[in-house]
Structure 1
Amino acid sequence: MLNFFRSKTATAKDDLLSGVTVSLALVPEAIAFAFVAGVSPIIGLYSAFFIGFITAVLGGRPGMISGATGAMAVVVVALIATQGIEYLFPTVMLCGLIQVAIGTARLGKLIRLVPHSVMLGFVNGLAIVIGLAQFSSFQTYDAAAGELTMLSGMPLVVMLVFVALTMAIIWLLPKYTKAVPASLVAILSVTLLSIAINSATASSGDNLVATVGDMLNTKAASVAEDPANVANASISGGLPMPFFLQHSIPPMTLDTLWIIFPFAITLAGVGLIESLMTLTLIDEITETRGRGNRECIGQGAANIVCGLFGGMGGCAMIGQSLINVNSGGRGRLSGITAAVCLLLFILFLAPWIERIPMAALVGVMFMVVIGTFEWASLKMFHRMPISDMAVMVLVAGYTVVMHDLASAVILGVIVSALVFTWKHALHLGADIQTNEFGSKIYQLHGPLFFASVSSFKEMFDPAKDPDDVVIDFYYSRVYDQSALEAINVLAEKYEALGKRLHLTHLSQECRSLLDRAGDLVEVNLSEDPQYHVATDRLG
């Protein structure tokens, strides 16, 4: 289904229009994540602007959208609750410094260690999480009961109809024209229709069609002690100011560093894992290649500036990135446009943005879910190895249950590595023969490392072997200290019996590792790739 996004070419017009589309979808996400973190909505919006703009300019993946995210929000909420909001901003800046250091050290390439089964689980789990998250938009705040309740009656019917209409426009419009992004047309069309309906039913006192403004009030009321105090919540604000002009500064001491460092390192790891996984996904969709190390530096610089101006930090936003590429956004201009439009919304257009119906944004996200889920993976179950299938299901399930994409990826990589290790531990074997000089030759096949040393030791019988024994590593490699130790222990056993052990066809790295063995072993230095056993030296 990723082909749903693929057939696009980069143009400035598409970048501009897709950027506008993405900016509309950024507003409710930034507000929602701000409430998760325990900060005001305007902090979430400013964070989305700084992160989005700077990574679009400096990042390593043109067309990828970054902003304030839920993954970062759930990390900082504990810090804010225990230490106060003034500790948030130096934490975000320290997070950025760590990310820049990681990018400078060129560690972004470690994303290559993520197996395809983990990627499939990540994508499918992500699609499910995005889909489930949209159902919160079907809630409203019941002031009498003091709790969130599901929509019912005519408001629910209208919501469902508008969601379906949005999805239909996005699906059908590209069949007739691709001059403008279908998502933008759908949002504008449904917005105009909802304004007309709400105006016609204004006498009832409530909007029949729930809007972004209603969502903002609902979110604020659901977390406020006195809902009446937030009844007129708004996303409007002025230009962002440095945090030290708005909040008290925590003491710059080792005690403060001790408090914020664990949160900063967690933020840096979570942000980079999500960003690099999103980069890999966008690479696959657009059939281009981003630069992981540059993305680490770009994300780090964005978080440094974001923290300086009182933001909550952020990273790549997978849902909005998919909206962008689906709408034709491929270049840096799309991300820059989205960020600039978001700032304009805050400064000048807040009343208009608050009138966008939530149904339109939900419909856009549902289409993202359909395009994101790798439906082909469901047909691959009977063809995939059981271990890969299990890893894919594990990652997807953990993502859905825990809503922690970074931990899901780490868990998947660990399980895949353990499966790989176990399989290769069983692949070590040897062809055994005796040459014309009476020397017994063990020609190894498979890797020799910590998991296979037990099998390696069981192959040999020093007491029964002849005086000359050869281990040929032409089809094998020595990988770690456990393997070296196993070789040394084996050599000591032969030496104790007055027998001689020869190692042949070791790689240069293996020979370097074995230099410390001295005269204990004899290494064949022949460079002839067809020369399997040094029989002339054993006579």
Structure 2
Amino acid sequence: MKLDNGIKGAYPLRPFTRLSARRHRSGQTGMLDFFRRRPRNLKDDILSGLTVALALVPEAIAFAFVAGVSPIIGLYSAFFIGLLSAIFGGRPGMISGATGAMAVVVVGLVAIHGVEYLFPTVVLCGIIQIAAGIGRLGQFIRMVPHPVMLGFVNGLAIVIFMAQFGSFKTVNDAGSLINISGPALWIMLALVALTMAIIWLLPKLTRAVPSSLVAILVVSGLSIGVNKMVPTDWAAPNQSNVLLTVGDMLKTNTMAQAATKVEKELGENVTPAAITSAMTTAAAEEGGIKAGLPIPYFLDSQYDFLPPLNFATLWIILPFALTLAGVGLIESLMTLSLIDEITETRGRGNRECVGQGLANVVCGMFGGMGGCAMIGQSLINVNSGGRGRTSGITAAVCLLLFVLVLAPWIEMIPMAALVGVMFMVVIGTFEWASLRTFGKIPKSDILVMVVVAGYTVIMHDLATAVILGVIISALIFAWQHATHLGADIKTNKQGSKVYQLHGPLFFASVASFKELFDPREDPDDVIIDFYYTRVYDQSGLEAINGLAEKYRQLGKKLHLTHLSPECRKLLDKAGDMVEVNLSEDPQYHVATERLG
């Protein structure tokens, strides 16, 4: 690959948009041509929002089970987070909701202290995020290097891909999740393939409606027919339908959770009969996803007590709130950067921090588990033509309507359709061009990409993966620039020896700096010219101070010239810590000295 400046081995600056632009110029379309730039359109936003809402239902339910809370809490969280972040956030077209990254943090709090402590934790998380936005910390997303971004995107695509295999599971009589097999598996795979084919081929015929929405509706219709016509003995264990639906997934997770609870309570005394009884009871009590309007958690009678508002409670919830805030902001800002890249527009990071914080405050007040931006659903939205805030608002409102009115219909949507949609998201998310750059880019960048992608896949922790990638990139940068410090040595007309430095002076290059000088062999007057270098930290100041002390002990003078204003400010702030002579005259005549 080449950039416009002809440098080989560099990354494409905008990998998604360059790919789409190249196909657009050649008149080609293909499976990967999802992210072509489109103008905002109210009809596309509304239809795209409806598509996203259908995909949000099983995600919100699944993440609620991960967090150890009721599915209704996950659905309400997705509604509040999605609505408020769409209205007040800094990235139109980006979808937010209850996410796995937040659920992983929440599960520890709920397990240790109970669900009652969850809601004030989410509120505090939102307050911290608002403070981060007001403090303009959102701009730090610019520090994420491109290799980290590529590793993040590729790792995320693999995580989304692997997560879909959970939709191919059912629960056996022992309460364990097992893979479906036989005719049920083959029929489901066939409908997954049909969903992907519709999403790929329909845009070649028309873009009047989102292909993802059409695929979900078509496959849902076929699924209803299959479940009515195919013999029930083809179904997986503990399932009445041959093709698993959203309702079946909810029932399966409820039964598996009930079996796990019994095993923990009875321990070694657990029996198959006890597990079967618990699963049967859970399945009978499972009421689906229908519920009433959300109410503030402190008015909800289902909670036994409310945590007291004191320092003891704050001490409990603060670590979890800080973690939630950090995870949520990192994932949201990374998603914002990705959507910026795809749509060739620019979101506002600081406003997104405030929007996410406000959404989490309200979500916590209404008994939600919190959330952040959802990359998979955001890509579905962009793929379906959603560009404005209307798409996110529509998705949130439709989700609430599903819970209040259309729950029975939503429970009939086959998991095959949603899996097919997510598989296409995976294909569009993975940056295939990055595979071709291997061998053409620095090995250090390859290392960063692999580490970030690997950590994302293994740990399912996107925020930590990004932080780890930034740290590795920073260490590599420091190591490489530590070797870039050198000096041109000459003698001026006055007989002074002049060291003209090149490269940065900071903690990593201090050793190289010290090796440049020979105080014993140097003449009585030595000048260090900083015209082509900069002093960046206290380690550099201490190195200068130590060198000056060596020359002073030998009765020799050391002068510093061409210091930048920033370097002089560092010396001024150092006060008595650093004592060196600063020469103002670049012609090295009589030196003007001052203490830094």
The aligned residue for residue 521 of structure 1 is 580
For the residue of structure 1 that corresponds to 2:528, the secondary structure is strand
Deviation at 1:489, TM superposition (A): 1.4
User: For residues 414-425 of structure 1, what are the structure 2 equivalents within 5 Å?
Assistant: 414-425=471-482
Rounded to whole Å, the distance in 2 between the matches of 1:104 and 1:29 is: 31
Contact 2:63 2:103 in 1 (8 A): yes
The aligned residue for residue 515 of structure 2 is 458
Rate the CA distance shift 1:518–1:50 in 2: closer, same or farther, 3 A: closer
Rounded to whole Å, the distance in 2 between the matches of 1:456 and 1:518 is: 19
User: For residues 410-489 of structure 1, what are the structure 2 equivalents within 5 Å?
Assistant: 410-489=467-546
Rounded to whole Å, the distance in 2 between the matches of 1:524 and 1:498 is: 18
Rounded to whole Å, the distance in 2 between the matches of 1:320 and 1:400 is: 19
Q: Which of 136, 140, 149 is the aligned partner of 1:110?
A: 140
Deviation at 1:352, TM superposition (A): 0.3
Q: Which of 367, 384, 388 is the aligned partner of 2:441?
A: 384
Deviates more, 1:192-201 or 1:17-26: 192-201
Identity over the aligned pairs, expressed in percent? 70
The aligned residue for residue 212 of structure 2 is 183
The aligned residue for residue 271 of structure 1 is 328
Deviation at 1:242, TM superposition (A): 0.3
Rate the CA distance shift 1:94–1:520 in 2: closer, same or farther, 3 A: closer
2:61 partner amino acid: I
Deviation at 1:227, TM superposition (A): 1.6
For the residue of structure 1 that corresponds to 2:498, the secondary structure is strand
For the residue of structure 2 that corresponds to 1:186, the secondary structure is helix
Rounded to whole Å, the distance in 1 between the matches of 2:536 and 2:53 is: 50
Rounded to whole Å, the distance in 2 between the matches of 1:534 and 1:239 is: 79
2:73 partner amino acid: I
Instruction: Tell me, yes or no, if structure 1 residue 207 matches structure 2 residue 241.
Output: yes
The aligned residue for residue 291 of structure 2 is 237
Contact 1:58 1:295 in 2 (8 A): yes
Deviations 1:513-539 (A, max 9, x none): 22336995343446xxxxxx4323359
**Unmatched runs of 5 consecutive residues or more in structure 1:** 527-532
Contact 2:583 2:591 in 1 (8 A): no
Deviates more, 1:464-473 or 1:198-207: 198-207
User: For residues 366-385 of structure 1, what are the structure 2 equivalents within 5 Å?
Assistant: 366-385=423-442
Rate the CA distance shift 1:366–1:518 in 2: closer, same or farther, 3 A: closer
1:29 partner amino acid: E
Deviations 1:399-435 (A, max 9, x none): 1111111111111111111111000011100000001
Instruction: Tell me, yes or no, if structure 1 residue 536 matches structure 2 residue 593.
Output: no
Deviation at 1:437, TM superposition (A): 1.1
Instruction: Tell me, yes or no, if structure 1 residue 155 matches structure 2 residue 189.
Output: no
1:536 partner amino acid: H
Rounded to whole Å, the distance in 2 between the matches of 1:416 and 1:374 is: 20
1:228 partner amino acid: T
Deviates more, 1:65-74 or 1:483-492: 483-492
Contact 2:73 2:369 in 1 (8 A): yes
Rounded to whole Å, the distance in 1 between the matches of 2:354 and 2:489 is: 53
The aligned residue for residue 66 of structure 1 is 96
Instruction: Tell me, yes or no, if structure 1 residue 89 matches structure 2 residue 119.
Output: yes
Instruction: Tell me, yes or no, if structure 1 residue 228 matches structure 2 residue 280.
Output: yes
For the residue of structure 2 that corresponds to 1:437, the secondary structure is coil
The aligned residue for residue 43 of structure 2 is 13
Contact 2:167 2:415 in 1 (8 A): yes
Instruction: Tell me, yes or no, if structure 1 residue 51 matches structure 2 residue 74.
Output: no
The aligned residue for residue 341 of structure 1 is 398
1:224 partner amino acid: A
Rounded to whole Å, the distance in 1 between the matches of 2:554 and 2:52 is: 75
The aligned residue for residue 529 of structure 1 is none
Rounded to whole Å, the distance in 2 between the matches of 1:520 and 1:316 is: 52
For the residue of structure 1 that corresponds to 2:527, the secondary structure is strand
Rounded to whole Å, the distance in 2 between the matches of 1:64 and 1:220 is: 31
Rate the CA distance shift 1:518–1:17 in 2: closer, same or farther, 3 A: closer
Rate the CA distance shift 1:477–1:176 in 2: closer, same or farther, 3 A: same
Deviation at 1:444, TM superposition (A): 0.3
For the residue of structure 1 that corresponds to 2:178, the secondary structure is strand
The aligned residue for residue 72 of structure 2 is 42
Deviation at 1:8, TM superposition (A): 2.1
Contact 1:61 1:295 in 2 (8 A): yes
Contact 1:91 1:261 in 2 (8 A): yes
Contact 1:47 1:313 in 2 (8 A): yes
The aligned residue for residue 7 of structure 2 is none
1:44 partner amino acid: G
For the residue of structure 2 that corresponds to 1:536, the secondary structure is coil
Q: CA RMSD in A?
A: 1.5
TM-score (norm 2): 0.87
For the residue of structure 2 that corresponds to 1:514, the secondary structure is helix
Rounded to whole Å, the distance in 2 between the matches of 1:217 and 1:52 is: 25
User: For residues 388-403 of structure 1, what are the structure 2 equivalents within 5 Å?
Assistant: 388-403=445-460
The aligned residue for residue 381 of structure 2 is 324
Rounded to whole Å, the distance in 2 between the matches of 1:229 and 1:309 is: 29
Rate the CA distance shift 1:520–1:317 in 2: closer, same or farther, 3 A: closer
User: For residues 123-202 of structure 1, what are the structure 2 equivalents within 5 Å?
Assistant: 123-142=153-172, 144-201=173-230
Contact 2:489 2:498 in 1 (8 A): yes
Contact 1:217 1:233 in 2 (8 A): no
Rounded to whole Å, the distance in 1 between the matches of 2:167 and 2:435 is: 29
Contact 1:437 1:538 in 2 (8 A): no
Rounded to whole Å, the distance in 2 between the matches of 1:19 and 1:269 is: 27
For the residue of structure 1 that corresponds to 2:112, the secondary structure is helix
Instruction: Tell me, yes or no, if structure 1 residue 500 matches structure 2 residue 557.
Output: yes
Deviations 1:66-97 (A, max 9, x none): 00001111101111111111000000000000
Deviation at 1:202, TM superposition (A): 7.4
Deviations 1:43-84 (A, max 9, x none): 000000000000000000000000000111110111111111
For the residue of structure 2 that corresponds to 1:469, the secondary structure is strand
Instruction: Tell me, yes or no, if structure 1 residue 257 matches structure 2 residue 314.
Output: yes
For the residue of structure 2 that corresponds to 1:444, the secondary structure is strand
TM-score (norm 1): 0.96
**Unmatched runs of 5 consecutive residues or more in structure 2:** 1-14, 21-32, 234-238, 260-277
Contact 2:212 2:421 in 1 (8 A): yes
Aligned length: 532
Deviations 1:217-242 (A, max 9, x none): 11111111412233234010000000
Deviation at 1:490, TM superposition (A): 1.1
For the residue of structure 1 that corresponds to 2:490, the secondary structure is strand
1:110 partner amino acid: F
